[in-house]
């Protein structure tokens, strides 16, 4: 197993744990919302269950997306294209891969994509 595969598998386990935690939090809020009065929007005690549920849903969606990105990176390792920018074809610098092991683009191309 390559260093990249090992690093990505370790990262994947961490992301899986985040997905499991986010799923549990979301499911708890769904259950809590069933037990709350229909109108929790006017609760002066703090954030509503609906708002907390929306935040938990967004966190779960992000965690699942991150897991998909890591799985795609593992696929690139298998294909022999890991560490190669999908836009320009140049090598992605090791420091970027260290910071974002699932990176698909070099810094220059990633910045260009963010602007568009």
What pLDDT band is residue 35 in, cutting at 50, 70 and 90? Answer: low
Residues 46-74 have pLDDT tens digits of: 567 778 888 989 999 999 999 999 999 99
- 33, 38, 43, 49: CA torsion to nearest 10: 20
Asked whether 22 and 59 are in contact (CB, 8 A), the reply is yes
Domain boundaries defined on the chain: 1-82, 83-116
Most confident stretch, 5-14, 20-29, 42-51, 52-61 = 5-14
Distance separating alpha carbons of residues 24 and 18, to the nearest angstrom: 10
* H-state helical runs in 3-106: 3-35, 49-79, 94-99
Residue 94 pLDDT > 80: yes
Q: Which residues of 52-71 are buried (b: 16+ CB within 10 A; e: fewer)?
A: bbeebeebbeebeebbebbe
């Amino acid at each position: 197993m390559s260093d990249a595969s090992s690093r990505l598998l370790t990262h994947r386990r961490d992301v899986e744990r985040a997905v499991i935690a986010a799923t549990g939090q979301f499911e708890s809020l769904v259950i809590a919302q069933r037990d709350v009065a229909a109108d929790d929007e006017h609760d002066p005690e703090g954030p509503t269950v609906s708002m907390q549920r929306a935040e938990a849903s967004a966190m779960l969606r992000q965690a699942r997306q991150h897991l998909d990105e890591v799985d795609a990176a593992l696929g690139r390792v298998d294909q022999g294209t890991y560490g190669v920018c999908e836009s320009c074809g140049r090598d992605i610098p090791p420091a970027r891969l260290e910071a974002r092991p699932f990176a698909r683009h070099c810094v220059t191309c990633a910045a260009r994509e963010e602007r568009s």
